[in-house]
Amino acid sequence: MKIITPGEGETFDIELEENLLAKNRELAEANRRRLDEKGVRAFDVMGAIGAGKTSLIGALIAHLRGRRVGVLAGDLTTTIDADRLAERGAAAVVQINTGKECHLDANVVAKGLDEVLQQGVEIIFIENVGNLICPAEFPLGSHSRVVVVSVTEGPYTMRKHPYILREASVLAINKSDLAPMMKVDLEQLRRDALAVNPTLQVIATDCLNGEGIEQVAAALGL
Amino acid sequence: MKIITPGEGETFDIELEENLLAKNRELAEANRRRLDEKGVRAFDVMGAIGAGKTSLIGALIAHLRGRRVGVLAGDLTTTIDADRLAERGAAAVVQINTGKECHLDANVVAKGLDEVLQQGVEIIFIENVGNLICPAEFPLGSHSRVVVVSVTEGPYTMRKHPYILREASVLAINKSDLAPMMKVDLEQLRRDALAVNPTLQVIATDCLNGEGIEQVAAALGL
């Protein structure tokens, strides 16, 4: 088998992106300073379509009842996730529609913060666009990044997607109840993830039934 | 709920991308001319992590036995999919590792074609990186684009990802055997997909068991 690995400058957009990424990092740092000044904790949640990002955030909001939680929900065009999270009891919900953009960036998140910080929230969850690749390179200024992977994505997710795991501090392996039926070995997924990033806190979750939510909250210091 | 939609020029990279996309379209047209001159048919397969792209291509290779099929397999860093497809009997397999790039582009595919066209193949499948967003904007020069969506991604995939469905001519709704257990309505998914792109040929598949493969092959004119 032949393996092709494009070299530096061989793909179109490497140099252009360097400037974008540097600018994004600056704006992310500004977001972080703003959150810290107000004493607000923020967490961003990344993962593929259907991994369970919205279900995880919804379960965390239920777990944290009594505290004022804000949500920024990123999606290409719809308000499906934001609607679901408003129903779960979020004190403030902002939908960020990115159009064809495949990730949130620190600039659109700054606009979202303008809105939710006015509502006097203590905790903010930022749900990224459903994508296991592009969000990794765009820090948003949150205090921790969470990745959600569903066992229904099969046995190779951790090995195929090292970059996003390296950016995260918490990994939720979701729909863990389906692992036997999907013939996916939870312990192997955990080992694969830790081989990529040994500092990850890896938690098996079943967000629809509340399994593992307390552990995720504790891992985030909540 | 507040909805934020970044305007023209408000996200970082819109203008930069216009040039890249135009350059990519030129290279895609060159790929297409090259394929046509050699009488080779090419199809590219897009979808999220774990949707079943490799399983679909593997099942199509088995269905087309006796014909020389080449594969270009795109992934960030691993050769997992290329290895699986070599085992399924592909006559030529090229792995394209994109690093942090979230999609194949017509430039790296041209390099891959250099390799597989030397092997005298009649049909080429191009497996894109696992991503339901970014590959849509980068045509590769293939004769048809196929999207694979798994029912395990939940009920909202078609509504959340209109752009990629508009680029495709065939949609495989895969792992269709799991629809009842995942409480996903196959007919609703089909209706949602056709509402986005009425010209789509929508086929329910269970690639691991060969269900729907003959129909996908027919939809591709194979």
Segment A97-147, tens digit of pLDDT: 988 888 999 999 999 999 999 999 999 999 999 999 999 999 999 999 999
In-domain check, residue B117:
yes
Comparing CB atoms, the residue among B1, B130, B162 nearest residue A77 is B162
Query: Is the CB of A95 less than 8 angstroms away from the CB of B3?
Result: yes
Evaluate if residue A20 carries a pLDDT over 90.
no
Residue B107: which of A10, A158, A3 has the closest Cα?
Answer: A10
Q: Please report the pLDDT score of residue B13 as a whole number.
A: 53
In-domain check, residue B6:
no
In-domain check, residue A208:
yes
Q: How far apart are CA A123 and CA B126, in angstroms?
A: 44
Comparing CB atoms, the residue among A1, A48, A83 nearest residue B82 is A1
Q: Please report the pLDDT score of residue A199 as a whole number.
A: 98
In eight-state DSSP terms, residue B132 is S
- CATH code at position A142: 3.40.50.300
Residues of chain B positioned with their CB less than 8 A from the CB of A137: 100
Q: How far apart are CA B188 and CA B156, in angstroms?
A: 10
In-domain check, residue A74:
yes
H-helix or E-strand spanning residue B41: strand B41-47
Q: Comparing B189 with B101, which gets the higher pLDDT?
A: B189
Contact indicator for A202, A169 with CB cutoff of 8 Å: no
Q: How far apart are CA A51 and CA A126, in angstroms?
A: 15
In-domain check, residue A6:
no
In-domain check, residue A120:
yes
Q: Please report the pLDDT score of residue B219 as a whole number.
A: 98
User: What is the Cα B206 distance to its own chain's centre?
Assistant: 17
Looking at the complex, report in whole angstroms how far the Cα of residue A201 sits from the nearest Cα belonging to chain B. Answer: 22
CA Rg, chain A, in Å? 17
Pick among A102, A158, A166 to test the B interface (most B CBs inside 10 A):
A102
Q: How far apart are CA B8 and CA B10, in angstroms?
A: 6
Residues of chain B positioned with their CB less than 8 A from the CB of A132: 48-49, 130-131
In-domain check, residue A176:
yes
ipTM of model over 0.85: yes
Q: How far apart are CA B193 and CA B137, in angstroms?
A: 18
Query: Is the CB of B76 less than 8 angstroms away from the CB of A162?
Result: yes
Contact indicator for B191, B221 with CB cutoff of 8 Å: no
Domain of A197 in residue numbering reads as 19-219
Query: Is the CB of B1 less than 8 angstroms away from the CB of A82?
Result: yes
In-domain check, residue A8:
no
Residues of chain A positioned with their CB less than 8 A from the CB of B166: none
Residue A100: which of B6, B119, B66, B209 has the closest Cα?
Answer: B6
Evaluate if residue B115 carries a pLDDT over 80.
yes
Q: How many CB atoms are located within 10 Å of the residue B169 CB?
A: 16
In eight-state DSSP terms, residue B143 is S
What is the total count of domains within chain A?
1
